Structure 1
């Protein structure tokens, strides 16, 4: 199959998300696009298009155009989404920052991104001010102003650091003509950061085609009649791209809240008639904890994406009447190259008929067959870690340490190869050596262990290296260690993961060697320091003070010994 034929499905659905938003603003402008549940505000496609046109024009008027970088440091997802599309329309790159970052983490990412402008909000401005003076080239800053009556509206805010040139929010958002910018599928759209493994986090430069590929399988069963639920942050590709951008492709509504709430989840679903949601592994146990009731199936949620696929997906889907569960493999660098659709309940046995909206079971099965996506019954998807098969746009293999292909059921590293240009990341920002290493031997190395079964299905095995997953976030032991090492009483430390009791989550463990052997440094001191300097998801749950760490003859810390020690202590 030639390149044009391979790319045809991407082109048929519209490769450029900005063009899709324009299409729906013109064709169905009065339809709801973005509902912000925290304030009960709904923007139509036409209004969202008008506002983002204005932001694009005002960015351009401030010298931020094609190739410029706009860092967004906001909790408020409506503000972040408006700036994201506005930046794209101006030809600038959307560069989100984890709103939990402060101090060293925040300073590092901003210095590495070197943005032309930062958009933030009053509550986060003090954290930005704290690091602004240390930036080599302080950017412009715009501070979001919530309208009166909004949940985050405040009468006062601190002044911006003198090093920052402030663009008033009113000036960024006032009506302005949209700039005339020509965009192509291989133009860069985003810089989104990995968790890092053995070193600082790396900025991943994603072209527009990456967005189209990442959302492709997720878009297949979604129509204009669907409503996508989102409580993932806008610094996360799942929130910004898989949910918000996907809605713009489909022409449907996306209903957005600031954070997950197990108590409010089903009320939110009912309030907007939500039909599809991404459920991270930590969310599912929380929702399943609620006492069962005869009315559990009486909701509109027909489709859920679960990644990684939990062992209890079928039981959860049957209880809550979810017809389809999708799963796969997702990554900042390679998008969503693997996928599967699981029919969890037969037609009529899931979402009640009077609440069901969207494609029928037969239509979903036909789309899966047309695009080569595995379509399995719930009973046939019982093996943990199912990721499906490669999409039509990529090749996949499991490789050993010499990059030789492993036999079926032999674990190795999942490796991928794009069949079209600009399908994966352009590279790591400012790190050509790391980019070349990741793409060595003409394969992109994901850093995750997997196996391929005899029928060609791929299964996730484990994370390679020192990656940790907490509250749906991937982080690295390097990041945890780097921050803890800033404590004046810490000589050095070792951080790693142990399995948590919640879903497929991890708990962070830190073994700390004190700077002085006088007993002055306590576990409580380390916990207090983490509370002040680290986002909640990064803080160690277990801290142990030790005189030294076990090492190999080549002076590498033997974390496996520490892991065995803590598991024995915890009874794991």
Structure 2
């Protein structure tokens, strides 16, 4: 088990550093494995091809592709020429993707063949180069020439240069461009290696979509650590378990929906954790019971995460200290389901409306603010939004939380998701936690709906577990279940049963669509 000895400053240096650890070690697993020497050579050839295609430092290159080795290679090839990678959410409509292409002023659009029609429609009328990836195209979309290696010199990026440009998932409205600098991305990778003990014997399973930072940060961190990557193009619970079992995945990030579906599929698949040592999850609350299911089924460590696109992404990790492991099992499960303590690069506080730190009593609610080397310098071409989010030297997250004496925070809601009913504040996570503790509930979301009597009333959208049918008796049971755990004014006035909750590209529940 070896960790990187030299501190890379840029994304390209992260690849070179990882490759220098053990050039012959596997970098990419699966049907077409690549060792680090081959990965570096292939990436250099693609970077040289980008230069021949006229891509210059600072140009935006958009990538519309599912999880695959190609995603990894394009990420580092862009870094090699100083281009800005713009990962695209393939679940968006052509019109939405066009908005991103125009806002970012993308110079090149690279699209997987299954998205060719979507890409051509989105790029119609936009001044850019189109690169297709199909059986009729070169393997990486551009002709690779071995001779080009002799004259290729990687662009010497500065730490303040933009490396990646992500577009927010839009839980609060139209997506905004979030530039992440070389410093943001690499400092996050180095901190994650330290925090999570990532090393060259780790194998990361790219199961969550790589166009989102919930997974994409590991592209840099695992490579910098000299570890190996395997990829699942389309998520399915059983397919993910098979990938973990067959490839020997040791660590992965799973959004809560994925985690639930893998847990449900594990008994039939006979999966008992395999080589897994660590599962990370975030983006939605998780109950202590769900954490217990992960520990009992996967027999590995579980860490709850919290972060945003603007923060590269991690702000907190729910990592237990040795003293926490001396607590009761119930207390440990409760702690594991909390948001966690600050990530290594982050200074974090919880403040009231006047900008003052709230008491660290684990009861007083305030807004999470943060600062540090992994936080974006601001929004892309949006000075007003940047000014609103960065005040007093802090980035204001818009997330409401409590904080305890140890510095552990616990999110209670987004500011925009808090429900004001009859003059009382109801935090949606309180309602959701009550519902998640019922065995029939797979997924749920509490939200406010207009009410002539109360201003807003609490409603809950619910997805039931497989094999459970909606009945009047079940609805009454859910009401009673909530009534045993919540104050009367917090109880859902109505339940909306759905087959699936609307999601953003990152897997977060899009509550604005429920409203």
Into which bin does the TM-score normalised by the smaller protein fall? 0.7 to 0.9
- Contact 1:447/1:464 (8 A) holds in 2: yes
Partner residue, 1:325 = 302
- Aligned partner (choices 334, 338, 346) of residue 386 of structure 1: 338
CA distance in 1, matches of 2:326, 2:221: 24
- Contact 2:369/2:396 (8 A) holds in 1: yes
- Aligned partner (choices 423, 428, 432) of residue 383 of structure 2: 432
How does 1:162-311 map onto structure 2 within 5 Å?
Answer: 171-175=142-146, 176-177=148-149, 178-196=152-170, 198-220=172-194, 221-241=197-217, 243-290=218-265, 292=267, 296-297=271-272, 299-307=274-282, 308=284, 310-311=286-287
Partner residue, 1:414 = 368
In the alignment, does 2:401 pair up with 1:450? yes
Could you list the per-position Cα deviations for residues 149-196 of structure 1 after superposition, in whole angstroms to 9, with x for gaps in the alignment?
xxxxxx6x9xxxxxxxxx996644343333341123222100001123
SS of the equivalent of 1:437 reads helix
In the alignment, does 2:13 pair up with 1:19? yes
- Contact 1:217/1:339 (8 A) holds in 2: no
Partner residue, 2:456 = 560
SS of the equivalent of 2:416 reads coil
In the alignment, does 2:318 pair up with 1:340? yes
- Aligned partner (choices 50, 53, 65) of residue 44 of structure 2: 53
In the alignment, does 2:412 pair up with 1:461? yes
CA distance in 2, matches of 1:415, 1:29: 41
For structure 1, which runs of at least 5 residues remain unmatched after alignment?
1-8, 147-154, 158-166, 344-364, 468-497, 512-548, 553-557
C-alpha displacement of 1:197: 5.1
CA distance in 1, matches of 2:325, 2:105: 44
SS of the equivalent of 1:66 reads coil
Partner residue, 2:102 = 111
- Contact 2:444/2:460 (8 A) holds in 1: no
C-alpha displacement of 1:103: 2.6
Q: 1:76/1:197 Cα in 2 relative to 1: closer, same or farther (>3 Å)?
A: closer
C-alpha displacement of 1:403: 2.0
Partner residue, 1:132 = 123
C-alpha displacement of 1:108: 1.0
- Contact 1:447/1:463 (8 A) holds in 2: yes
Q: How many residues align?
A: 436
CA distance in 2, matches of 1:571, 1:75: 32
Q: 1:10/1:405 Cα in 2 relative to 1: closer, same or farther (>3 Å)?
A: farther
SS of the equivalent of 2:350 reads strand
- Aligned partner (choices 392, 400, 404) of residue 441 of structure 1: 392
- Contact 2:64/2:89 (8 A) holds in 1: yes
- Aligned partner (choices 127, 131, 134) of residue 142 of structure 1: 131
Further displaced range: 259-268 or 172-181: 172-181
Could you list the per-position Cα deviations for residues 398-434 of structure 1 after superposition, in whole angstroms to 9, with x for gaps in the alignment?
122222222232111111122x4xx311211110111
- Contact 2:160/2:182 (8 A) holds in 1: yes
The TM-score normalised by the length of structure 2 is 0.75
Could you list the per-position Cα deviations for residues 105-147 of structure 1 after superposition, in whole angstroms to 9, with x for gaps in the alignment?
1111111111111101222121222233343xx101111134x
Task: Please give the root-mean-square deviation of Cα atoms over the aligned residues, in Å.
Answer: 3.5
- Contact 1:70/1:93 (8 A) holds in 2: yes
- Contact 2:352/2:367 (8 A) holds in 1: yes
CA distance in 2, matches of 1:341, 1:81: 28
C-alpha displacement of 1:20: 2.7
CA distance in 1, matches of 2:320, 2:303: 6
Q: 1:565/1:171 Cα in 2 relative to 1: closer, same or farther (>3 Å)?
A: closer
Q: 1:465/1:134 Cα in 2 relative to 1: closer, same or farther (>3 Å)?
A: farther
C-alpha displacement of 1:508: 9.6
Partner residue, 1:99 = 90
- Contact 1:387/1:457 (8 A) holds in 2: yes
C-alpha displacement of 1:331: 1.1
C-alpha displacement of 1:452: 0.1
- Contact 2:17/2:224 (8 A) holds in 1: no
Partner residue, 2:486 = none
Partner residue, 2:64 = 73
SS of the equivalent of 2:410 reads strand
C-alpha displacement of 1:51: 1.4
For structure 2, which runs of at least 5 residues remain unmatched after alignment?
419-433, 463-491, 498-515
The TM-score normalised by the length of structure 1 is 0.68
CA distance in 1, matches of 2:443, 2:337: 10
